[in-house]
Amino acid sequence: MIVERLDGLCSAGPAGSALIIEGDAGIGKSSLLDLAVQHGAASGVRVLRCTGLQAASPLGYTGLHELLHPLMPLVDDLPPRQRAALLTAFALDEGATPDRLLVGLSALGLLEEAARNQPLLVAVEDLQWLDHSSVHVLTFIGLRVSAAPITLLATLRSDGDADALPPLPIERLRLGPLAEDAARALLDDVAADLRPASRGRILSESSGNPLALHELPTALRQHGIERTTLHAHLPITKRLERAFLDQLQPLPADSRSLLVLAAASDGAQLQDIMAAARRLGLGVEALSPLEERGLVSVGDSGLRFRHPLLRSAVHSAARTSEWVEAHLALAAVTAGQDRAVWHRAAAALEWDETVAGELEGVAARAHDRGAQPEAMSAYRRAATLTQDARERARRLALAAEAARSAGMTAEALELLEQVGPLSPASGAETITQVALIRTILSLTAAAPAPSSNDFEEILGLLPVPEENERRVIILWGAAVLTRGRNLPSADWDYLRRNLEATRTSSPLKPAALAILAPGGQAAAMRDRLPSLIPQLAEFPLGMLSLAIAAESLQDLQTSLTCWELSRERSHNQGAPADELQALRGKANVLLLRGQLREGLAAAEYSERMAADTQQQMIGSFAVATAARAHALLGDLDAATAAIRRSRELSRMAPLAMISADLRWAAGLIASQRGRHRDALIEFTHVAVHSTRALWTIADRTEAAVRAGRADQVRDNVDAADEAARAYQSSYLAALVARSRALLAGDDEAAGEEFEKSVAAGAVEESRLEVARSRLLYGQWLRRRRSQAAAREQLALALTEFDAIGARGYADRAAGELRAAGETPHRAPGHSWAHEKLTAQELQVARLAAKGMSNKEIADSIYLSHRTVSSHLYRVYPKLGITSRAQLAAALQDSGDDL
C-alpha cells in the first residue's frame, strides 16, 4: 500500500501534492524516501534533495539553500522583490531584511519555474533537524504545490526533536512497526544463522523496528545475548543507540576520535573535517576501520553516518573534553564565519564575553537575512555565556523579540521570563523592549495583557526626564493595547495622566492621547489628527495607531487614509505581518462607508496573509470582519461559516474587538432572518468594545423596536447622541437620527429624524447607511399612506443597495416597493463580479485590468507569478472574455468599480 501511494505521488501529472512520512527512528522512513527518489528518477522526474542535521550551529535557510542550489540559474525569472528576498536570505546579496512570506513565495516561484519543463520531486530527509526558517518555507510550499507538477516528500521522526517544530498542517503518513510475519521474514534475510533462542529474543527486543532487526543481531554476535538484552527496559531508540555503541568498542582510539569529530562537524565538507583531524593529530588511516565496518561513508560533502542514531550514540558517549577539542578544531578550520562562531560556542563551558559578542553578530546577520528563529537561537546562546546581568537581560530581550517576529509566541514568553525581574540596572533599552514585546503579544497572540499596575512598575524604572522618549514609546503601546482589548477605565485614566505629564516632542504622544481622548477633548484631538500624518508617515505602526485613534474619534476619512498609508508603507518595507493588520482595519472602514465588495476583498486578503504568516489572532479578526461583509452583502450562510471559522482561530482568548465584530455579524444575520430578539442579544454584547457599541446603535435600536423592547435602548441612544455631538461626527449623527426615528414609532417626529439621518449620512458619504435609512423611511411613509413619497424613498434605497451589492437589503426594498404599488426596476439576471470570481481572482483581475504585469501583480499581493497566471486563466471564461485587454470592460459590466 505504501509503495502504491508513493507511486501515485511521484507520477508526473499536472497537479502536485505534499506528504510527511512520520515514524520512530529506524522504522523505514528513509528507505521509503529513497524508493520514491529512485522511482521518480526512473520516471523522468527531476529530484531535489536536502537533509536535516543535528547541528550545533543553527544557520537560517541552510536546508532551503541546499535544496534550491541547482535551480539558482532561474532566479532572475522571479519578480524583483521576490528575487531580492531569496538572494538576501541566502546571503548572496545585500538588501532589506526579507520577510519569510517573501522568501516562501520566491522559493515556490523558483520551483514552479523549474517544473514548467520537468516535474519535480522535492525530497527532505529528517525534517525535524532542518533549520526552522527552512521548515517554515517548506510548509508554505507544501500547502501550495497543488497547482504545479511538484511533489514534496519529507521524513519526520515522531520522537525527540519533532516536538520543537512549529505546527505542520501537511498530510501525514504514519509508519508503525512491522507485523510479526514481516519481522520474521526480515530477520531471516539479515541473520539467517541465528539460533532459535537468540532469534526469539531479537524479535522481542526489536518491537517490529526494521533497523533494530538489522543492528541487534550484530551486537549479539559481538557481545552475546546477555549483554544485548541488558537494556530491554529502554525505548527502542535508546536500545538502538546502545547497539551502535557496542559496535564502536573494538575501534582504534584514533578512529573513535575521528567519529566524534564527524559527529560535531554539522555537515562540514570532507576537507574541513580532515583539516580539523590533523589539528588533533589524526591521520587519514583513522578512516579505514570506520569504512570497513560500514559506520560511515566518505564523499565530497563530508562523512555520512550509516544512520542518524549512530551519530546520536557517538555524541552521547563522547567525553566533554573530546567534544570541546573537536569543536575547537573545527572552529579553527571552518571557512564560514558564523559556523566557526557556533563551534566556539559549543566548546564554551564557562562565561565567555568574546564568544557571546560574536554570537550577537551571528544573530544580527541572521536577522538581516530574515532568519528570525536562528537569530533567536544565537541571542539565547549568547545570553547563556554572558556573566554581566544587564548584558544577559539585554540579549534575552533581543532573543524574545526575534522569537516574537518569527511567530514563536511560547518561546518569546519563556525568554521574557528568563529576563527576570526588571530593575533600573536592567537598562532603559531592555526595559522598553520587554514592555513593547508584552504589549504586542497581548494584541496579536492572546498573551496576558499588562495592567496599569504593570505599566506603573515599568515606567517607575525609567528616570525622568532623561528617558522620556522611551517612556512615551511604552505609553503609546499601552494606549493601543488599552483600546484594542477595551481594558478598564482606570487604565485609560492612568495612561492619560502619564502621557500628559511626559514632556516630549514625539508625535507618538498626541497619537496615544488621541486614542485615549475622553469626549470633552475629542473635537480638539480630531482636528489635530491630520497634522500628525506627515510626522508618522514612514512608521507603519505609528500610522496604524493614528488609524485606531481616528476610528475612536469617529473620523472615518482620516482613519481610512491612515490604514491605507500603513498598508502601503508596510508593503514597501516587506512587512506583511503589519500590512495584514492595516488591510483588516481598512476593510472595517470600507464596510462602514458602504463599500461592501471592497471591504470583503480587503478582509479576505488580510485573512490569507494571516494564514501565510501564521498570525492566528489577526486572522481571526480578519475573518470576523469578513463575516460582517458577507452579512451586509446578504450571503448569510457565508457569514455564519466565517463566524465559526473566526471563533475557532481565536478560541484561546479573543480580543474585545474580535468578540464585538463576531456579535455584530451574528446580530446582522439574526436581524435579516427575522429573529429580532436574538439580534438584540447579539447587538447588546457588542458593548464589550465601546467604539463598536456606538457603530451598532441603529442596529440595536431596530432590533429592540421590532422585538417590542424599545425601552431597553433609549439610554444607549442618548449616550450615542452625546458622543456624536462631542465627536462632531456626521456618521454617528446619521445612526442616532435613525434610532430616534425608530423609537418615535408613528409619531410625526419620526419623519424629521429620518430626514436628518439621510442628510447626515450623505455628508459622511456612507452609502449603506443612507440607503438603510431610506428603506426604513419608506416603510414608515407607506404605513402612513404616503405612497408616492414612500415609493420615492424605497426606489432610491433599492438603487443604492443594488449598486453596492447589498442583496438582502435590496430584496427587502424591492418587496416594500411592490407593496407600495410600484414594480421594482432591477437588471434581470445581473451577476456581480464578486459573485462570479473568488476573492483572490477578483483581486488579480482588478490589478491586471489596471495594466499591471503578472510579475508586478505577484510582487504586489504576495503570490508567485505562476499563480497569478493560473488565476487569470480561470478568470477569463468566468467573465466571458478571451484576453487581458477585455478585463476592465468586463469588470465594469459586472458592477465592479475597479
Q: What is the pLDDT of residues 313-330, one digit of tens each?
A: 888 888 999 999 999 999
Shared domain for 17 and 141, answered yes or no, is: yes
Shared domain for 283 and 432, answered yes or no, is: no
Per-residue confidence band for 234, with pLDDT thresholds at 50, 70 and 90? very low
Shared domain for 546 and 434, answered yes or no, is: yes
Per-residue confidence band for 95, with pLDDT thresholds at 50, 70 and 90? confident
Q: Among 212, 227, 248, where does a domain finish?
A: 248
Please determine, for residue 517, whether its predicted confidence score (pLDDT) is greater than 50.
yes
CA angle 25/26/31 to nearest 5° reads 120
Can you tell me the distance from the alpha carbon of 288 to that of 692, in angstroms, rounded to the nearest whole number? 75
- Residue 300's pLDDT is 66
Shared domain for 51 and 73, answered yes or no, is: yes
List the grid coordinates of 474: 511604552
Residue 641 covered by a domain: yes
DSSP 678-727: HHHHHHHHGGGSHHHHHHTHHHHHHHHHHTT-GGGTHHHHHHHHHHHHHH
Can you tell me the distance from the alpha carbon of 496 to that of 489, in angstroms, rounded to the nearest whole number? 11
Q: Among 174, 202, 226, where does a domain finish?
A: 174
Residue 408 CA, chain-centre distance (Å), reads 10
CA angle 649/597/859 to nearest 5° reads 75
Residue 820 covered by a domain: no
Q: Which of 589, 590, 567, 586 is nearest to 578 (CA)?
A: 567
Residue 374 covered by a domain: no
- Name the DSSP class of 252: -
Instruction: Output the pTM of the full model.
Output: 0.85
Residue pair 370/98 in contact (Cβ under 8 Å)? The answer is yes
Residue 866's CATH number: 1.10.10.10
Shared domain for 22 and 136, answered yes or no, is: yes
Residues 6+ apart with CB under 8 A from 524: none
Please determine, for residue 514, whether its predicted confidence score (pLDDT) is greater than 70.
yes
Cα first-last separation, the chain: 51
Which amino acid is present at 839? A
Shared domain for 16 and 71, answered yes or no, is: yes
Can you tell me the distance from the alpha carbon of 372 to that of 59, in angstroms, rounded to the nearest whole number? 10
- Residue 225's pLDDT is 47
Q: Among 613, 641, 662, where does a domain finish?
A: 662
CA angle 489/495/496 to nearest 5° reads 90
Residue 17's CATH number: 3.40.50.300
Can you say whether the dihedral through the CA atoms of 73, 74, 80, 82 is positive or negative? Answer: negative
**Higher-scoring residue by pLDDT: 637, 54:** 637
The cell 404616503 sits on which residue? 786
Residue 746 covered by a domain: no
Q: What is the mean pLDDT of the chain?
A: 89
- Name the DSSP class of 807: H
Can you tell me the distance from the alpha carbon of 315 to that of 788, in angstroms, rounded to the nearest whole number? 90
Please determine, for residue 264, whether its predicted confidence score (pLDDT) is greater than 70.
yes
Residue 153 covered by a domain: yes
Residue pair 157/180 in contact (Cβ under 8 Å)? The answer is no
Residue 762 CA, chain-centre distance (Å), reads 39
Per-residue confidence band for 228, with pLDDT thresholds at 50, 70 and 90? very low
- Name the DSSP class of 528: H
Residue 431 CA, chain-centre distance (Å), reads 27
Overall average pLDDT of the 123-142 stretch:
93
Please determine, for residue 6, whether its predicted confidence score (pLDDT) is greater than 70.
no
List the grid coordinates of 368: 538581516
Please determine, for residue 894, whether its predicted confidence score (pLDDT) is greater than 80.
no
CA angle 647/653/658 to nearest 5° reads 55
Count the domains in the chain. 6
Shared domain for 150 and 260, answered yes or no, is: no
List the grid coordinates of 395: 540579549
The DSSP H or E segment spanning 609 is: helix 596-612
496-508 pLDDT per residue, tens: 999 999 999 999 9
Please determine, for residue 12, whether its predicted confidence score (pLDDT) is greater than 60.
no
CA dihedral 35, 36, 38, 44 (to 10 degrees): 160
Can you tell me the distance from the alpha carbon of 261 to that of 52, in angstroms, rounded to the nearest whole number? 18
Per-residue confidence band for 342, with pLDDT thresholds at 50, 70 and 90? very high
The DSSP H or E segment spanning 304 is: strand 302-305
- Residue 162's pLDDT is 53
Distances (CA, A) of 366 to 402, 655, 813: 10, 33, 59
Residues 6+ apart with CB under 8 A from 828: none
Can you say whether the dihedral through the CA atoms of 434, 96, 67, 314 is positive or negative? Answer: negative
Residue 644's CATH number: 1.25.40.10
Stated length of the chain: 898
677-699 pLDDT per residue, tens: 999 999 999 998 989 999 999 99
Shared domain for 42 and 127, answered yes or no, is: yes
- Residue 108's pLDDT is 95
Shared domain for 150 and 6, answered yes or no, is: yes
**Higher-scoring residue by pLDDT: 231, 360:** 360
* Window from 78-92, 505-519, 710-724 with minimum mean pLDDT: 505-519
The β-bridge partners of 296 are 305
Can you tell me the distance from the alpha carbon of 220 to that of 562, in angstroms, rounded to the nearest whole number? 73
277-304 pLDDT per residue, tens: 999 999 999 999 999 988 899 876 778 8
Can you tell me the distance from the alpha carbon of 747 to that of 750, in angstroms, rounded to the nearest whole number? 6
Overall average pLDDT of the 822-850 stretch:
78
Residue 235 covered by a domain: yes
Shared domain for 219 and 264, answered yes or no, is: no
Residue 360 covered by a domain: no
- Kindly report the number of other CB atoms within 10 A of residue 229's CB atom: 18
Shared domain for 434 and 501, answered yes or no, is: yes
Which amino acid is present at 643? I
Q: What are phi and psi of 123, to 5 degrees?
A: -110, 120
142-185 pLDDT per residue, tens: 988 887 899 999 999 986 555 566 667 889 999 998 888 888 89
DSSP 554-577: T-HHHHHHHHHHHHHHHHHTT-HH
Residue 421 covered by a domain: yes
Residue pair 225/201 in contact (Cβ under 8 Å)? The answer is yes
- Residue 236's pLDDT is 60
Overall average pLDDT of the 403-408 stretch:
86
What domain range is 240 assigned to?
A: 180-248
Q: Which of 71, 79, 29 is nearest to 51 (CA)?
A: 29
* Window from 214-228, 316-330, 572-586 with minimum mean pLDDT: 214-228
Shared domain for 483 and 456, answered yes or no, is: yes
